[in-house]
Every structure is written in C-alpha cells, then in structure tokens.
A and B are shown apart, each in its own frame.
Chain A
Amino acid sequence: MFVPESPALLRIVGNRLLLSVPLLLVVSTLTFLLEALIPGDVARTIVGPQGTQEQYLQLKHSLGLDQPLLTRYQQWLESVVRGDFGTSLFNHEPVAVLLSGRLSVTLSLVVGSTLVAAIVGLLIGIAGALRSDIAGTAVDALSMFGLAIPNFFLGLILIALFAVAIPLFPATGYVPFDESPLDWARSLVLPVALATPGIAVVAKQTRDSMRVILERPFIRTLRAAGVPRRSIIFKHALRSAAAPVVTVLGLIFVASLGGTVVVESVFAMPGLGGLAVQATTQHDLPLIQGVAVYFTALVVVVNLLIDLAYGWLDPGVRIE
C-alpha cells in the first residue's frame, strides 16, 4: 500500500475525503426519500394486525411519524451533524450502537472474501498466464462457472455438505475474534467460500493482464539479463499487471458489501447486510439511514485505498 509522503498527497487525500461529504448527503437524502415512498410505516409494523387504529395512531404520534417529511429529515440531519445517528424506531436502541456492534461481522466477511478472491484468484490467474492454452481455457471456464452460480444457492450447498453431511464448520452464526480466534475463523469459512465469483473475476483479469505484460520487451530484456524467473513474474510482471486487478478487487469489495444482504441471511450472521434488510422491512428510517451512511463511508474509504494502491504500483500515477 502506498502511503502519502508529501503534503501535496496529503492534500489530495484530504480533498477526496471532503468530496465524500456531498456524496454522503446525496445518498442519505435519496435513501430518506425512497423509504418515504414505500407504503407502510414502522408504527403499523410494531402494532401489527391485532392493534387497533387508535393504538396505531397513538404510536405513530409518539414516534413523530405524523410530522412532515422535511421536518423529520431536517431533525435527522441536525442530529447526524452533532454525531448522533438517533435511536432505532423499532427496537429503541441507539443506531450507532446497533451499527458498530455489527460492523466487525460485515468487515470480517467482506475483507475475508476480498482477500480470498485476491490470493486464490491471483495464483490461478498467474498459473493460467504461464501455462498452456488449455490451462487458460480452464481459467476462463472457472470464471464463467464462478460468475454463473448464485450466491445463496452455493451457500445452501456448502452448508448441506460441510456443516450437515460432514460437520466441519458451523452452519450458522458468527463468533467474535476476541472471544475465540479459532471459532471466529471456523464461523467464517463457509460464508467466505462465497467469494467464488470474485476468485473467478480476479483469475481472469490477472491472466489477461499478465499475458500482455509477459509479451512486453522489458520482460525479454530481464530474461536476457539473467534475472530469475520467479523475480520476473512476481516482482516485475505482476506489479505491472496489478493495476487493473486492484480495480477489480475494489469492485469485488463493493459487490461483497452488497452481497452481505444475502450471505448474512443464509448464514444467520448478525452483520450490517442483515440489519439493512431488517430495517427496511420494518420501515426503521433512522436505522436505514445509518446503514446507508456506513456503507457509503466504507465504499469511499475503499476507493481511496485503491487510488493510493495505484500510486504505489505505478510511480507515474503518484506524480500525476
């Protein structure tokens, strides 16, 4: 990872972070409006079918849902500026507590998936670039298979095979790292195995980029100079081929973030994805807003890290 070394680069990083502020504003506004367009409200969800209309109206008033939409948005925005994400309308817990309690689950899942996609995808991609056309075709076939298989279906098969039939891993749940690193790791194996589509994409991108780079004159020069093959591949060729792979990894991270909605449901993990679904079905607006802001912030940070990675991989980009 490239670390900013000059005030100019620090300024660039600062500017990128500042630019994220209007992005967060737009995302939160759109989320608020979209939620408002969905029929139903949290008061009806809580009161349920057995609640009377009077009970419903009483709760609606106590939750402030009878106030104009603009007023509610303004109140939410003012709270957020003060660092307060508000309180869940559904279960009365502070939104910040609910979100922070689940962040580690989602990060373990998403970072894990991205790392597995990176490591396995790179190894397969490099092998495909170095070997015959048959190996390359195999990488292509694997890529298509990985992309075609739906996440939830793969998840159910993995559970049936490796949790029920052969009880290697837990079928559901999540164990915090600080409670038991071993159980934390075991609880992540099956969910992270859903990184298969990411592996496929990274493998294909790596193979294609490596094949182009390995044909470049400077590689022939290095070979002629007697530079060891391993050094040529991993130090020179892979570094030159890595920029598009890093871009893909960024996209995989973002896609995995969206995928947590399904993965956390299939594996009953208490993460942000499941919380997003729960909050949406319950019309819990402060919580929906909080999840949207957290997800957006994660995407902003990842994009920034990718830009910095470009600088590390390619000094030309650093100068620009």
Chain B
Amino acid sequence: MGSTVVRKSRTDASEASSSSRRWIAFLPMALVIVVGFLPACGGGGGSTSKVGSTLTIAEPLSPPSLDPATGANENSDYFNLAYDPLIILQPDGTFKPGLALKWTYATGNKSFSIMLRPGVKFSDGDVLDAAAVKGWIQHALALPGGRASTYFSSLTSIDVAGPLALTLNFSSPTPLLELAFSQLLEMGMVGGPKAVAANSLATDTDGAGPYMLDKASSVPGDTYTFVPNPNYWNKGGVYWKKVVLKTITNPNTTLDALRTGQVQVAVGQPVTSVDSAKAGGLKYVAPLTLLMGLSLNDRSGTLAKPLGDVRIRQAINYAIDRGAVAKLIGAGYGRSTAQMAIHGDDSYDPALDNRYPHDVAKAKQLLSAAGYPNGFTLAIDSANVVGEDTLGQALAGQLADVGIKVQLDVKNDVGAYFQSFGKYPAATLAFGRLPAAIDYQILYGPNASLFNPFKSTNADLSRLYDQLLAAPPDQATSIARQMQQIVVEEAWFAPVVASPLVDLYRSEIAGVTSTDFRVQEYTTEIRPAG
C-alpha cells in the first residue's frame, strides 16, 4: 500500500481576490475529476504493493503504546516486528530459543536462569546483555498500567551472573515464565537501555527484532511503517523491505482493501467476514480465541439470592443450548464448550465437554429443588463488543424457557461494562484463552478483583493453585484439570462457546499460522508464498 503519510495540506490556500485566482482554486478538484477516468496505474493507496517488497497488515486496533513492556498482547503485532522475544512460542505450543539460547527452572519454580544469545544488538546499535534484560524487567514492573506485575508478582531479585547470564529469584513459585517471556505475553521483548532511560518507547521502537519503526512515514493511531533493522542478528528472518500496519476499524472496508490488494493480511476480523472472504478468493485461519459465556459472579447471593445456590447455577448451565448459540455466535466456525477451556489449554478436560447437556427438565428440577420452581429475575451486565450482546440476547431467550427472566443491560462502552461488574449478579464474558494459573489470577482467584467482584473463594481451588505454581511440567496439567473440574462443578460460570477471531490473507502470502496451541499469528513469520 502506498504511504499514507499525512503532511501539511496545500489545498487550504487563502482565497484569491481576482477571478483568475478564484478559478485556480478549482484546479485540484478538476484534477480529481480528470484522473478519475484514468485507468488504475499504481499508487493511490498502494494497490501496487508487491509481495516481498511491502507487506501491509490491516489491524482492527491502534496501540496505546509501542512499548512491549505494557504486555498488551491485543496489540502484539505492533511489538512483534521490532522486538524479538527471549523465548519463541511455536505453533505446536512448544518453545524455542529467541534472544535467549537456554533457560532453566530451579528450586521449585522459585528461580529462573537465562543464557542470552551472543552477538545481538538493538536497532540503535547497543549490545543486548544481561544488564539490559535486568533493566528491562525493572522497567516493565515500574510501568504504570503494565501487566508485568501479574507475571512477576513475587520477584525478589535479579542476579547478573555474567555478560550473558542472569537469574530471576522469586519468593513464591512462579511457573509459566516461558510464556511470559514469549511473544504471547511480551515480557521478553527487550528494549534498548538508552530508549528505556529516555522514556521514548511509547512512541518509538528500539528492539532486537527484524524491523524498526520509520516514524517519519507513520501516522500515530493510523499507520505504522516498519523498515529493516540494520543491526538485526538474523538477516534470514527479514522477509520484507517494508511492513505497514494500517488501522482499519470497519470490517467491510478491511475486506475491500484485501480484495483490491491494498493490504495482504487482516488480523482480528469478525468471523462473519469469513464467507465473504472465501467468496473473494481470500484465505483464512480461524483460531478459537475467545471463551464466551456467562460469569455468574454473585456466588454468595449478595445481589441475587438464587445465585448463592450451586443448584441454581447448575440449572442455568443445563438450560443453555450451547450448540445453537455456537452456531449463532461462531457462524459455523465456533465450538460449544461447557468449561472455561478448550483443546490446547492446560486445564482442558475432555470429560467435562458434556457435563451440562441441554436439558430443560433437569434445569427446572434443580430450580424447584432450590426453591425457585417459577424461576427468578436475573440482571446481566453486557456490552456490544465481540458479540457479547448477541450472546446475552440468545441466552435470555433460552433461560426464559426455564422461568429465568433476564434483564440484559447492554453497554456501548467497554469501560462502563467493566466498571459495572460489581453491580450485577452476572455478566456476559468474552475472555482470551490463558493457562490455568493466569486464569486464576485474573479471572476467578480471590485477587481477581475485576472479574471476581464478590471475592468468591474455594479452599480446594486455592490449594490446587498453590500446588500448580510449584509443580514440575509433567504434573501441572493434571492439577490444572482438577482446578477446571472444581470451577465447572461449582458452576461459577456458564461457558457457552469458543469463538474465533479470524485472520484473512491473500494467496501470495504464507506464514499466517494460528493453532489451538498458539491462537495468535506471529507477525515475523508472515512471508511471501512460494
């Protein structure tokens, strides 16, 4: 796509006083009209982009910051290009060396040692060493609003054992550091010490990745242009002379830009675009990205007394026809689920898939047993994002069949929806797939303040969480599954569907790879086909 750089307009010239100058003012528009009938001849929004020279990716969001220390993985494409991670998450869920050559856990997951790759430089020419990584982690922890505190909450010290060796020490077991240091959670996307000190990483880049930001050719909030990093350690990993990330919020516009070749890849698109894309000869991947359902937050019955009874929460689960909702929400590409995990997640238990089959009679029986044979009224907080409002409306209809009258409050503003969590006994939920330990921290542990507003606790769950943190990898999966079983049996949620966010791309492109084990494509893998 042609550059979308915006410079000072020359069309806002002041009006001339003579009639000849008045007519001159019409010339640019006359030019518009004349060239309108010229054949398409390149430029003009970049329809001449050639694969191998320029890759343009349509993004649904613009990033609040270009600093990967924020850990905002919804903006990962903006980080991936300029920052290689310490550890790379592969499509099959395994890890391979990135900027780190080796890493090891020790002392019951309370320490983590890293050996860095030698000869790596940041784009400003500074050398990547252990001191730089230490400074980076400290920067991430100090960054207001950054997510590092989620992953390094018990970090006590960082020992630099040599130019390329360091060890992180924790006061309590801290697993999942491979994931934290991978491109998925971004903590290992180390930035240059000078840029960290200059506090410039929010608006510019200085990483050890294949590209770097060309600020002069970028429009903040709209277009981010990346060019090859001359100091990149792995020259074979540079597939493009230029990569442009263009924010396009309208899915129809995105499809048109793909069809006309102005963009080659579009990420994070709604699943409803897939059929149109296929008809237009485009390719797609539809990783199951979001777990959607109801969060039955008021598990002690503070606002809605019935929800304090596990039988009521289970009745809600039985009342839901997941297959029908999955078809509606997933447009044929979703997958129904009765647990807060699907295949590929550490806590996924196939035996739980049919724990709550659609059974209206069973639901009514449980409601009667709990003392609510005629149902009750349930207020649900919702938002019109990623189909949550549609989900809420579908569930309202199904719950009405067992006598539960839903009062759905759909908010246009996501912030307002989040801030209202504690004011409603239940909320619709669309949550990214994460390992059990992180789900516990963010979604349902006692300190998961946003998503657990009524501070629900379960002693068995907390005990298993503690075990999970210290467990070696071969035991962790079993413990994660036990945690899932408790969450499902207690019916803290009514999971409904795993819904995809779709990546669309043109046939001349390869490397747009997402799987059940890695639901996000990795931008630096995208390359010319053939």
Contacts and interface: CB of A to CB of B under 8 A. Distances in A.
Interface of A: 1, 3, 38-41, 43-56, 58-59, 61-63, 88, 90-93, 97-98, 100-105, 107-108, 111-112, 115-116, 119, 156, 159-160, 163-164, 167-183, 185-189, 192, 265-268, 270, 274-275, 278, 281-283, 305
Contact of A103 (B9, B46, B260): B9
Interface stretch (B84-92, B251-259, B353-361): B251-259
Interface string B1-30: 111111111111001110000100110110
Contact of A55 (B149, B256, B257): B149
Contacts of A176: 3, 5-7
Given A92-B203, A115-B26, A179-B7, A44 B415 contact: yes
A268 B11 contact: no
B304 interface: no
B481 interface: no
Interface in B381-433: 411, 413-416, 418-420, 431-432
B257 A1 contact: no
A48 B442 contact: no
B259 A164 contact: yes
A115 B32 CA distance: 11
Nearest to B42: A183
Nearest to A43: B145
A46 B46 contact: no
A185 B28 contact: yes
Given A3-B17, A192-B32, A104 B6 contact: yes
B47 interface: yes
Contacts of B45: 170-175, 183, 186-187
Contact of B256 (A46, A160, A168): A160
A283 B415 contact: yes
B487 interface: no
Interface of A is mostly: helix
Contacts of A53: 449-450
Contact of A92 (B15, B73, B202, B451): B202
Given A52-B449, A189-B36, A182 B149 contact: no
A172 B36 contact: no
B472 interface: no
A282 B64 CA distance: 9
Contacts of A192: 29, 32
Nearest to B249: A265
Contacts of A168: 36-40
A189 B33 CA distance: 7
B39 A180 contact: no
13 contacts: A45-B414, A46-B72, A49-B431, A53-B449, A59-B145, A103-B9, A104-B7, A107-B9, A172-B45, A172-B262, A175-B45, A274-B222, A282-B64
Given A46-B65, A50-B147, A182-B43, 11 more contacts: A49-B414, A50-B73, A52-B450, A55-B145, A58-B144, A98-B220, A116-B32, A116-B33, A168-B38, A177-B10, A270-B223
B415 A119 contact: no
Nearest to B432: A50
Nearest to A116: B29
Contacts, number: 268
B462 interface: no
Given A98-B220, A173-B1, A268-B248, A91 B65 contact: yes
B415 A41 contact: yes
Contact of A170 (B145, B262, B450): B262
Given A91-B62, A92-B65, A268-B246, A183 B2 contact: yes
B268 interface: no
Given A49-B431, A59-B144, A91-B65, A169 B44 contact: yes
B44 A175 contact: yes
B4 A180 contact: no
Contacts of A40: 413-416, 418-419
Contacts of A172: 45, 248, 253, 256-257, 262
Nearest to A281: B413
B74 interface: yes
B250 A266 contact: yes
Interface in B26-75: 26, 28-29, 31-40, 43-47, 62-65, 70, 72-74
B195 interface: no
B219 interface: yes
Contact of A186 (B22, B36, B219, B411): B36
Contacts of A283: 415
B412 to A, nearest CB: 9
Contacts of A51: 145, 147, 450
B262 A102 contact: no
B146 interface: yes
Contacts of B39: 168
Given A105-B6, A172-B257, A55 B28 contact: no
Contact of A177 (B9, B36, B202): B9
A40 B22 CA distance: 49
Contact of A171 (B22, B223, B256): B256
A283 B418 CA distance: 14
B221 interface: yes
A179 B5 contact: yes
A93 B220 CA distance: 8
A164 B146 CA distance: 42
B150 interface: yes
Contacts of B262: 170-173
